[in-house]
Amino acid sequence: MPDYPKTLQHTPIAGVDEAGRGPLAGPVCAAAVILDPARPIAGIGDSKKLSPARRERLEPLIREQALAWSVAWAGTEEIDRLNILQATMLAMRRAVESLRIRPSKVLIDGNRCPELDIAAEAVIGGDGSVPVIGAASILAKVARDRFMVELDAECPGYGFAKHKGYPTREHLEALARLGPCRRHRLSFAPLSKAHSSAH
């Protein structure tokens, strides 16, 4: 694998990652980050492997010290209309296009890239091995978690603040009891069954 962090010293390379592909509710969030090689941030890694407290500490540092960053979304309606993969690609494209600095290349966590007019490369496991992707994973995860905490107040009873929309037993039981809210992804299997049985 190329030495991506060293490459960052010479050209503005953006890292991109998403949060929220697996949940049954809420938007998918993508972040794009261009780190400043003169201001390294210790402790960046895959957001899923960091504690919530660690992510909350790193997130403002990334926003403050990065050369550029952006967070973008694809909403529930777009997920249902396009499918989750295409909605994720859309959110990633929006994040890259919102950067105030145009990168020379984009490194994307996973095995596929959105359509961009910039050179892009997919890096499997990049959120844990490439700092600029790890930084994007932290911004995306923190932003989406905050959204789901706010959604818990808007749509009480489902436990969104706790499980962030993922299909936990608590969430599935609430769905069976309350039915879906307007922020649920009706195209996802547990929802499509509940939705069809309610009509």
As annotated, the binding site for a divalent metal cation includes 17-18, 109
Q: Of 44, 40, 37, which Cα lies nearest the Cα of 12?
A: 37
What count of Cα atoms within 13 Å lies in the side-chain half-sphere of residue 60? Answer: 3
CB-CB contact of 20 with 29 (8 Å): yes
DSSP for 122-141, please give it.
EETTHHHH-HHHHHHHHHHH
Task: Return binding residues.
Answer: 17-18, 109
Quote the CA–CA distance of 25 and 13 in Å, as a whole number: 32
Neighbours of 84 (CB within 10 A): 19
Q: Of 19, 46, 49, 10, which Cα lies nearest the Cα of 133?
A: 46
Taking 3-state DSSP, the helix, strand and coil percentages for the chain, each rounded to the nearest 5, stand at 45, 15, 35
